[in-house]
């Protein structure tokens, strides 16, 4: 204690403390302002994206969805659908829809990734909603399990999308699309946003890890080579029956005709 009080009374104590204090404050401020600057740039970029997104929206989407995305009578309101929904719908080319058919089809996207991002930011700025999953969140190779994913897929997805993810029929001409060739991020977004006929699969009913397992299984099914020969569309016995009634019996009857024809 004596030592400490002696130090305190040292004549250099004041200036040193002052310098130290100043230094600390300065550094803190510097760090703080740097963080702030970063935030400012992100916010700036984001608001730029929002502005760009609004412009694209006004040109490309507002005639159906309304000037403020509040639903223009033809198409639903986009307030609160979130960035994930926009990324899925526009990123897979489903939106803009083009024609007013029963269901929006997957096609080549009309907008480039930056424009899709801008649109997503704009719609997200209207009201909070599901965010676009980051790449770190989508590491299905690391975080997923194929077998578990298969089980989840068969319980939750196969009834519409078929046992191998080839898609299937719904009522009145609607259909569950094939899952082959769909980006993992889009599968994930579809699960959390429930586009069109598809219901939502909340994170509490199917956890994010389980979603990654499902994606891993879908990707495994997609990459699976033909173990037993031509896959015949992987749609079950209908195509098998078609093949046996055409190629199968056709070959046999062909040989039978040859067998019974008189040789020359």
Nearest distance from residue 136's CB to other proteins, in Å? Answer: 23
- CB-CB contact of 49 with 121 (8 Å): yes
Nearer to other proteins, 54 or 161 (CB): 161
- CB-CB contact of 165 with 157 (8 Å): yes
Nearest distance from residue 223's CB to other proteins, in Å? Answer: 9
Nearer to other proteins, 107 or 174 (CB): 174
- CB-CB contact of 111 with 52 (8 Å): no
- CB-CB contact of 86 with 116 (8 Å): yes
Nearer to other proteins, 73 or 199 (CB): 199
Residue 176 phi/psi, 5-degree rounding, is: -90, 120
Nearest distance from residue 68's CB to other proteins, in Å? Answer: 22
Nearer to other proteins, 73 or 228 (CB): 228
Max intra-chain CA distance, the chain: 128
Tell how far CA 50 is from the center of its chain. Answer: 20
* Cα dihedral 257→260→261→262 (10° resolution): 170
Nearest distance from residue 157's CB to other proteins, in Å? Answer: 9
Nearest distance from residue 164's CB to other proteins, in Å? Answer: 5
Nearer to other proteins, 3 or 264 (CB): 264
Tell which residue, 69, 90, 65, has the closest CA to residue 79. 69
Nearest distance from residue 206's CB to other proteins, in Å? Answer: 8
Tell which residue, 214, 223, 151, 160, has the closest CA to residue 187. 214
DSSP bridge pairs for 169: 175
Nearer to other proteins, 15 or 181 (CB): 181
């Amino acid at each position: 204690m004596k030592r400490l009080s002696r130090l305190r009374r040292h004549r250099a104590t004041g200036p040193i403390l002052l310098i130290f204090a100043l230094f600390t404050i300065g550094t803190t401020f510097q760090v703080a302002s740097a963080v702030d600057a970063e935030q400012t740039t992100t916010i700036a970029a984001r608001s730029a994206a929002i502005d760009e997104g609004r412009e694209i929206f006004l040109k490309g989407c507002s005639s159906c969805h309304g000037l403020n995305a509040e639903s223009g009578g033809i198409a639903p309101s986009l307030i609160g659908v979130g960035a994930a929904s926009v990324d899925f719908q526009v990123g897979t080319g489903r939106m803009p829809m083009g024609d007013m058919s029963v269901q929006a089809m997957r096609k080549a996207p009309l907008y480039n990734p930056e424009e899709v991002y801008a649109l997503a930011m704009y719609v997200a700025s209207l009201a909070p909603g599901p965010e676009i999953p980051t790449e770190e969140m989508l590491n299905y190779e690391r975080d997923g399990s194929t077998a578990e994913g298969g089980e989840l897929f068969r319980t939750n997805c196969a009834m519409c999308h078929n046992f191998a993810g080839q898609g299937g029929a719904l009522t009145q001409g609607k259909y569950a699309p094939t899952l082959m060739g769909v980006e993992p991020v889009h599968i994930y977004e579809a699960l959390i946003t429930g586009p069109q006929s598809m219901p939502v699969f909340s994170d509490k009913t199917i956890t994010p890890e389980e979603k990654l397992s499902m994606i891993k299984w879908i990707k495994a099914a997609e990459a699976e080579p033909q173990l037993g020969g031509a896959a015949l569309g992987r749609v079950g016995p209908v195509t098998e029956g078609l093949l046996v009634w055409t190629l199968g019996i056709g070959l046999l009857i062909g040989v039978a005709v040859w067998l019974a024809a008189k040789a020359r």
